[in-house]
Amino acid sequence: MNNIDYDIYELGDINLISGETLLSAKLAYKTYGRLNSEKNNVIVLPTFYTGTHQRNEGFFGTNRAINPDKHFIISINLFGNGLSSSPSNAQTKQRGSKFPTINLFDNVACQHKLITENFGIKKIALIAGWSMAGCQAYQWAAQYPDMVQAILPFCASAKTSEHNFVFLEGVKAALCADPEWNSGNYVSQPIRGLKAFGRVYAGWAFSQEFFRKKTYKNLGYNNLEELLVDWENDHANNWDANNLLSKLLTWQKGDISIGNKYKNNFIKALESISAKTIIMPCSNDLYFPPEDNEYEAKYIKNCELRIYYSEYGHCVANPGNDKNFEIALDQAINDLLK
């Protein structure tokens, strides 16, 4: 980004759940709207895998359920996304391939510091998010159950499944096959690897039905190759390879039961969630399938599962792709904020 439109919260050195230390940690965040006197209008929007706070702006507006005229929206960038602490901007000792392992637990612990210590907020009305942002919503609700009043994870899960793990291994292998990758010690970005990463990813982001029906034409692509080239260029032009793989590792390690509180007892962690919960998977999501959410919903006390049917698959939630999903999402948000 050339124009800095966000704030930085300095955390100092942070002890990570992996046992490592993140030196001079920082969170990049942006707020929208105003915190009211009761401090009860707070909505937290973490960022997703290849997103920043700017991409989250597609989920709210003055004509939307999340409304900056009513709500104090805090959009917090994930570690590894190039704005918060990442391999590309870390202290010299931890730059590039030397960046420590970050868990969603660490992200949420640091977000909690920002929200409580910087803003003096004690309750969060809603945490919502797409994909890895939704995974953070689950993590928040399990890690700080007394603070979170409602969550809305969409196209996400509370624990990364083995199949999801394998999908991520595939895109990672495509990137790392580029000789320029050099175990993360590259002189210039491994462009061929980044393009391969994007091309492989495109096959997972949408469903089989999306391609069978040539629904990509609705997104402005004249043919399949145009979509694939666009996905290649998006990753090659916009992302640092080490940043992508740092966040990918965070995603692979996703599990709300990690740590001393639940000691990997996943059911206990789910049962601890007291937040009013609506889970919105997409029927044709290839790596966050509804079946995983159906299992979670059995153990979360105050939970409703709303499956949205669409051939767009995981990318149904990408702002602008499906107007009807936007309507369904806003309805769920309104129901949670009642």
- The tokens describing 263, both together, are 């000691």
Q: Tell me what the mean pLDDT of segment 112-121 comes to.
A: 98
Are 7-159+256-337 and 164-248 in the same CATH fold?
no
Residue 4, pLDDT score:
82
* Residue given tokens 């420590």 in the structure block: 100
Average pLDDT over residues 167-178: 98
Handedness of CA 305, 125, 11, 188 (dihedral sign): positive
Q: Does domain 7-159+256-337 have CATH number 3.40.630.30?
A: no
**Does 44 score more than 50 pLDDT?**
yes
250 vs 304: CA distance, rounded Å: 27
Residue 279 has pLDDT above 70, yes or no: yes
Q: What is the pLDDT of residues 255-265, one digit of tens each?
A: 999 999 999 99
Average confidence (pLDDT) over 287-302: 98
pLDDT range class, residue 106, cuts 50, 70, 90: very high
Q: Which positions are catalytic?
A: 131, 285, 314
Calculate what percentage of the chain has a pLDDT beyond 70: 99
pLDDT (0 to 100) of residue 2: 45
Distance CA 227, CA 295 (A): 34
Q: How far apart are the first and last CA of the chain?
A: 37
Joined together, the tokens standing for residue 115 give 């929200």
Size of the chain, expressed as the number of residues it contains: 338
Angle at 285 between CA 283 and CA 287, to 5 degrees: 140
Pick the closest to residue 246 from 21, 80, 15, 18 (CA basis).
Answer: 80
Of the pLDDT bands very low, low, confident and very high (cuts 50, 70, 90), residue 123 is very high
**267 has a pLDDT exceeding 90:** yes
The matching CATH number, chosen from 1.20.120, 1.10.3470, 1.10.1740, 3.40.50, for 164-248 is 1.10.1740
How far is it, in rounded angstroms, from Cα 287 to Cα 289? 6
Other C-beta atoms lying within 10 Å of the C-beta of residue 153? 29
Q: Is the pTM of this model over 0.75?
A: yes
Nearest Cα neighbor of 86 from 196, 226, 249 is: 249
- 3-state SS, residue 128: strand
| Radius of gyration (C-alpha) of the chain in whole angstroms | 19
* pLDDT over threshold 50, residue 144: yes
pLDDT (mean) for 230-238: 97
Domain spans in the chain, listed from the N-terminal domain onward: 7-159+256-337, 164-248
